[in-house]
Amino acid sequence: MKPTLFILAAGMGSRYGGLKQIDGLGPNGETIMDYSVFDALRAGFGKIVFVIRKDFEQDFRNVVLSKYEDKVPCEICFQSLDKVPEGYTYNPERTKPWGTNHAVLMGKDLIHEPFAVINADDFYGKESFQVLADFLIQAQDKQGEYCMVGYHVANTLSENGSVSRGVCSTDDKGYLTDVVERTHIEQIGANVVYTEDGVDTIIAPNTPVSMNMWGFTPEYFEYAQEAFKEFLTNYGQELKKEFYIPTLVNDMIVAGKATCKVLDTPAKWFGVTYAEDRPQVVMKLNDLIKKGVYPEKLF
């Protein structure tokens, strides 16, 4: 059975402004998601599931799904604030959904095979989808053997401001031991630097970081459901606390319930973190087309 690609597309681009998930950046109006789907299909994925917000379903179907739903099985699920387990409550003044791991939970009734999780608005590169597909294909019928594509931090920076990245530590066999969120990483001169509490720390340019590109087997949904109940018990009345994928993966590793292989990739990430990033993304996509990595028209 081929693995499924699960695309998290429910967020608004607060810094960028508007629904950047359906912004046409390629020469024929392709979205970043289109390139992810194209890369996933040639790597060996067999189904695409999107989690979106219900209020832009029609735009999404018109702009995105219409391009390739006749080329690969596609399904949609919806993330909303009120999708919590029965019997659990939350602060009625809260306005935002519960974060990336909550978004993943929305797919539990649609996905029954090994699956990858990615962001809709990140360009990951064909090499990353290939190593991810190869791992998930061999993970069939296994449990607790997860993976994460680890990008070299220097390949994930924006020229227009600092970025947040999950900086990873691994053991000598390449398995994840820890992820620490660094919220202010940028290139300063010849160095990659993160700033915390006013202190600058240089990190090696090939340090692996998480770009929210994960691989799981389907029992992950059961763990996530139980962890979300615990999360709501502890934090349900808070207005902004979010339920993140790395937190649960860390907890499962510490508890001995799972391993997470960090898959190395030479790919260069790019995305539209800031509005000023858009022209550079358009240029980079055109360069990849000229090099023959992608056809001019994807679908």
Q: Give pLDDT tens digits for 247-276.
A: 899 999 999 999 999 999 999 998 887 778
Domain harbouring 272, CATH code: 3.90.550.10
198 within domain boundaries: no
Q: At what angle do helices 220-235 and 245-254 cross, to 10 degrees?
A: 110
Parallel, antiparallel, or unpaired: how do β-strands 74-78 and 176-188 relate? unpaired
Query: Over the range 79-109, which residues count as b (16 or more CB within 10 Å of their CB) and which as e?
Result: beeeebeeeeebeeebeebbbbbbbbbbbee
Count of C-beta atoms within a 10 Å radius of residue 148: 29
8 within domain boundaries: yes
Question: Which of residues 223 and 19 earns the better pLDDT score?
Answer: 223
Q: How many domains does the chain have?
A: 1
Rounded to an integer, the average pLDDT of 2-13 is: 84
Q: What are phi and psi of 248, to 5 degrees?
A: -70, -40
- Distances from the Cα of 114 to the Cαs of 40, 199, 215, 249, 262, in angstroms? 14, 41, 7, 16, 16
Rounded to two decimals, the pTM is: 0.91
Rounded to an integer, the average pLDDT of 17-43 is: 83
> Residue 20's pLDDT band (boundaries 50, 70, 90)?
low
> Residue 13's pLDDT band (boundaries 50, 70, 90)?
very low
172 within domain boundaries: no
188 within domain boundaries: no
Per residue in 130-141, pLDDT (tens digit) is: 999 999 999 988
189 within domain boundaries: no
What is the domain extent for residue 35?
Answer: 4-151+208-290
> Residue 22's pLDDT band (boundaries 50, 70, 90)?
low
190 within domain boundaries: no
